[in-house]
Structure 1
Amino acid sequence: MTDQSTVHSVTYDLLRTLKLTTVFGNPGSTEQTFLQDFPEDFSYVLALQEASVIAMADAFAQVTGRPALVNVHSSAGMGNAVGNLVAASHANTPLIVTSGQQHRELVIGEPYLGNREATTLPKPWVKWSYEPARAEDVPEAFMRAYAEALQPPAGPVYLSIPMDDWNRPLSGFDRVRTVSHRVAPDPQRLRGFADRISASRRPALVFGPEVDRSGGWDAAIALAEKLSARVYGAPLPDRAAFPEDHRLFGGPLGMSVKTISDRLAGHDLVVVIGAEVFRYYPYVPGDYLPDGTALLQITGDPAAAAAARVGDSLLGDPGLAIELLLDLVAEGSTRTAPEPMARPRELPQTPNSPLTPPEVYAALSRVRPADAVIVNESTSTMAQQLEWLPTTRTGSFFATASGGIGWGTPAAVGVALGDRDRGVVRPVVGLIGDGSFQYSVQAIWTAAQHDLPIVYVVMRNHEYSILKSFAVLEQTPGVPGLDLPGLDIASVARGFGCRAVEVKSGEDLEREFTAALSAGTTTVIVVPTQPQKAML
């Protein structure tokens, strides 16, 4: 390298200006010209596989509230990354994903490690996909990528950059821009929505992930209390948007068409804010809404509004919309307040061996710090987790938005790194199934290398319980590959540099979890459990 300005030096100056100084990646040969002479004021977070790279960056961006920069290897690395790119897309996470392309002079001949049809590979899971026509366009491509990723609805974007572009001379780039990332709802339509809400005799509120992402947690509580309305959790949420121990909270809405319709019976109006209408799975036929029930949706995502099967939609930032609604809706004091949700929380007098998931969560509930953040990928036990470990603070619950597994383990790393970046100290707890843990197990190496105080609680039930539950529901007996014998998770965790223990009782779990909170490193606690039939 010389003192002459290059595409490399100019782009890094732009990245500094945009505060994109943390790079999540796994380097390949076509990326080394981008990573050469890596500046001391930048941080490189190495993950051992690209799916982990994406999930870490996804959670980091969600926690910090700003776009994250990702670098993966050509088409092979991008292919590995796509599974968790789907989750980032559904979660509206602003990511700038980059990969190297072969040398421009070789591309026409389909060279080894060439990224064939590079801009097609990540579609449809990116908002914008681009390979600069000229080396001189690289900084401006990053500028547009930043704007595209951040503007609503936020989401991942992709840049493929030929490896020889970085050393090309370039005098500079001076067209740094800022962009808005919040859009207010149409005032007249919002006023009409407010009038319909005020006139409702028994409204229901469904708050979804967009509410938490837009900072609308406190406003959502105020709106529910002003309306004296029952609040339900959106189906298959990747963020919690309302305190799950609140007297107005009625639990999860359900997942299937029939379950959701049955749950909403008796409400004359359903107001869905910050969520799809609805995330359905599995298919159980029924009416989309009960007779006599109307639906209003407020979302910042035009695609979510267009895809809704029922109801009237309004586009706008959910946090802003809720704040405006607070001044527009009438007090609900004449309505009969909903009865608090029953929480039986029954446990056997004699502990089971192995423990059941409710017994695991009950033990954790006794030792979980109030400010702990939960990353959940124990898909068959999420209902029990909500019962025993309800989310009570904003930004304190994360799950995959795509339905695929392999996101949660690296996402916990991203949450912890995001907290460290913004100067927040709180425990990060990964609740992971033994099957899920295998998909991105290499992510715990990154956690150990960064001394992240994450506590993973891995429930070892020796099977894909969620798939066995679906097999019963869908009447598909004899499906192979649903059992998971022979996994020594604790030994694998130690091999990646983590502290690891196996526990068999609730008392042991409480003791080891408490010790893990002050261990100063990553701990994996393996808990043999009985399979749990999922509540579908």
Structure 2
Amino acid sequence: MTENSTVRSVTYDLLRSLQLTTMFGNPGSTEQTFLQEFPDDFHYVLGLQEASVIAMADAFAQVTRRPALVNLHSSAGVGNSLGNLVAAYRGNTPLIITSGQQHRELLIGEPYLGNREAATLPKPWVKWSYEPYRAEDVPEAFLRAYAVALQPPAGPVYLSIPMDDWNQPLDGFTRTRTISDRVAPDIERLRLFADRISASRSPALVFGPEVDRAGGWDAAVALAEKLRATVYGSPLLDRASFPEDHPLFRGPLGMSVKTIGDHLAEHDLVIVIGAEVFRYYPYVPGEYLPAGTKLLHITADPAVAAYARMGDSLLSDTRTAIELLVDLVAEGTGRTSPEPMARPRQLPQTPNNPLTPPEVYSTLSRVKPADAVIVNESTSTMAQQIEWLPTVRSGSFFATASGGIGWGTPAAVGVALGDRANGVSRPVVGLIGDGSFQYSVQGIWTAAQHQLPIVYVVMHNHEYSILKSFAVLEETPGVPGLDLPGIDIASLARGYGCRAVEVETTEALEKEFTAALDAGTTTVIVVSTQPQTAML
């Protein structure tokens, strides 16, 4: 044992070897024994609320393509984080989440800030949850957490660590190892899939978030073009996996049983790769799978394959499966190419006041740099975003993987920090609804502190438009709490240290967005808009 070697020093050495030197957190008293004398080669990213911390780490891990380390405060901090922990779990993001536990000496007496049933608290939204029985087990618990977080399907894990463990003496931990994060397909079953695809008269490809996460964007394009197949975006996607301006792309598949079933009726075979079958919401009854239509499903997640309502499944890393399929399927030269997606892009001759979301997106389409990345949490206007601001590059669109809101604003921070860690310089555009912005507004403080090149465009329509759209669909009039009067978003943004402006015209939006790109800091542009009925 080296002089003054402790659980803490050994754990930090292990984290260095795993390249886990960026930590996202909001510290509390039970974490200070871990964070004391914080190493100079580690970087601590402070978020002002734990849900924001998780979203930042989530997006950072997605952009850097490696696990992110999170430190929360006991049960209180873990409880605050749960909303966005659901998104990280649904999005298969590898996070290693730690929280402090009270001193072991006090635990039997239910002490203040004790984390009761610590390993149970974050379930079921973590892959593994553990509190070491002995202080000397802490480094090995981190190594197991790292392995579980990375192995497919990737996802968040959780460790609760008593505060007195960190200063216990410990020899160095040397049993480090490497982890596999890809699973190859059963090649014979894949050949059967390829034969069925080649024989299809009118195949449809549905690419989901797993494809882009696995680096399969180019392979997906190659497969679609070889097959001459119609391509749809998977329902409620959180990563785009196919260029949305491609001639074979026909737009989102829809969200309800009826809408999806109607889209699939024109195809004899549907190949879903890297997505659930399907993410449904809301419930509008219809045919899950039309008569005469068959479905093949490829995913790296056994649970996703198991709870699919229909179709024959194959477990595989999606990029690997697609690359193999490109070689195995026959050319689709005999098929008629599908009609391109209709993009009406109709605007009034005289601009509206307030502006409509299509007018906002049309303006942004003229001034948004080609390499900019979009983080979208304007839930009622996502169809308009695809129409006017299609995703055309891998890793350039992010949204929450769960149904909760409050992810997008801090996630934009994580994207920008991930780009910085990767040595990449590109603008980050946060398209955020005014209701969504309030859930995690404190996230912009972190953006301002790090002088991140984020341009938030907040569409201020003074209501929860998405919920009003659901109220119409579900025939539930008179729902309270759907209006949001009296919020001064620009003043809030300035109070957190951001540059903030309010605009009401397309000319002003174009001018301020262009200025924001060169501002060298975070800008919040508040745009007065009309409510938009969501396409459900």
What interval of TM-score do these two structures reach, taking the shorter chain for normalisation?
A: over 0.9
Question: Following TM superposition, by how much is the alpha carbon of 1:291 offset from its aligned partner in structure 2, in angstroms?
Answer: 1.1
Alignment correspondent of 1:36: 36
Q: Which amino acid aligns with 2:240?
A: A
Instruction: Please give the secondary structure, in 2, of the residue aligned with 1:457.
Output: strand
2:238 is the alignment partner of 1:228 = no
Equivalence for 1:4: 4
1:226-305 map, 5 Å = 226-305=226-305
Matches within 5 A, 1:355-504: 355-504=355-504
Aligned counterpart, 2:20: 20
- Could you report, residue by residue, the CA deviation over 1:425-468 in whole angstroms, capped at 9, with x for unpaired residues? 00000000000000000000000000001000000000000000
Measure, in 1, the Cα distance between the counterparts of 2:444 and 2:409.
Answer: 7
CA-to-aligned-CA distance 1:212-255 (integer Å, 9 cap, x gap)? 00000000000000000000000000000000000000000000
SS where residue 108 of structure 1 aligns? helix
- What code does the residue aligned with 2:483 have? D
User: Percent of pairs identical after alignment?
Assistant: 83
> What secondary structure does 2:413 align onto?
helix
Q: Write the distance in 2 (CA, Å) between the matches of 1:426 and 1:231.
A: 28
Provide the C-alpha distance between the structure 1 equivalents of 2:403 and 2:423, rounded to a whole number of angstroms: 31
Residues 171-209 of structure 1: per-residue CA shift (max 9 Å, x gap): 110100111000011101100000000000000000000
2:124 is matched with 124
Superposition pairs of residues 163-202 of structure 1, within 5 angstroms: 163-202=163-202
SS in 1 for 2:334: coil
Distance in 2 between residues matched to 1:324 and 1:171, nearest whole Å: 47
Matches within 5 A, 1:148-163: 148-163=148-163
What secondary structure does 2:24 align onto?
strand
Distance 1:316 1:141 in 2: 28
Residue identity in the other structure for 1:447: A
- Which secondary structure does the structure 2 equivalent of 1:48 belong to? coil
Q: Which residue of 1 aligns with 2:69?
A: 69
Aligned residue identity for 2:506: G
**Backbone CA RMSD of aligned residues:** 0.6
- What is the SS of the residue equivalent to 1:500? strand
1 CA distance for matches of 2:97 and 2:358? 39
Partners of 1:27 and 1:327 lie apart in 2 by: 51
Partner of 2:337: 337
Residue 260 of structure 1 aligns to which amino acid in structure 2? I
Tell me the residue number matched to 1:134: 134
CA distance in 2, matches of 1:181, 1:510: 43
- Report the Cα distance in structure 2 between the residues aligned to 1:121 and 1:521, rounded to whole angstroms: 38
TM-score, normalised with respect to structure 1: 0.99
Report the Cα offset of residue 343 of structure 1. 1.1
| Local SS of the residue matching 1:219 | helix
Specify the SS of the correspondent of 1:60. helix
> How far apart are the structure 2 equivalents of 1:258 and 1:103?
55
Q: State the one-letter code of the partner of 1:322.
A: I
Counterpart of 1:168, as a letter, is: Q
User: Does residue 79 of structure 1 match 2:76?
Assistant: no
Alignment partner of 1:313: what SS? strand
Report the equivalent of 1:311: 311
The AA in structure 1 aligned to 2:530 is Q
In structure 2, distance between residues paired with 1:44 and 1:165: 21
Q: Which amino acid is 2:34 matched to?
A: F
Any idea what the Cα deviations from partners look like across 1:299-325, whole Å, max 9, x if unmatched? 000010001001001000000000000
User: Within 2, Cα distance between the matches of 1:358 and 1:307?
Assistant: 37
Hey, what's the Cα distance between the residues in 1 that align with 2:195 and 2:238?
30
Match of 2:146 in 1: 146
How far apart, CA to CA, are the structure 2 residues paired with 1:353 and 1:533? 17
The one-letter code of the counterpart of 1:233 is G
SS in 2 for 1:527: strand
Tell me the alpha carbon deviations over residues 12-32 of structure 1, each in whole angstroms, 9 at most, x when there is no partner.
Answer: 000000000000000000000
Residue by residue over 1:114-150, the C-alpha shift from the partner in whole angstroms, topping out at 9 and shown as x without a partner, is 0000000000000000000000000000000000000
3-state DSSP of counterpart to 2:158:
strand
CA distance in 2, matches of 1:107, 1:10: 25
CA distance in 1, matches of 2:138, 2:152: 23
Where in structure 2 are there 5+ consecutive unaligned residues? none
Partner of 1:205: 205
TM-score (norm 2): 0.99
How much does 1:265 deviate?
1.3
Deviation at 1:211, TM superposition (A): 0.3
State the distance in 1 between where 2:275 and 2:261 align: 16
Amino acid at match of 1:493: A
- Report SS of the residue matched to 1:376: strand
Q: Residue type matched to 2:529 in 1? A: T
AA at the equivalent of 2:284: V
Amino acid at match of 1:235: P
Kindly state the Cα deviation for residue 3 of structure 1 after the two structures are TM-superposed: 4.4
List structure 1 runs of 4+ shifted beyond 4 angstroms.
none
Q: Deviation at 1:403?
A: 1.0
1:2-50 superposed Cα distances (whole Å, 9 cap, x missing partner): 9410000000000000000000000000000000000000000000000
Distance in 2 of aligned mates of 1:140 and 1:103 = 20
Q: Distance in 1 between matches of 2:200 and 2:521?
A: 52
Provide the secondary structure at the position in 2 that maps to 1:146: helix
Name the structure 1 match of 2:90.
90
Q: Distance in 2 between matches of 1:84 and 1:490?
A: 25
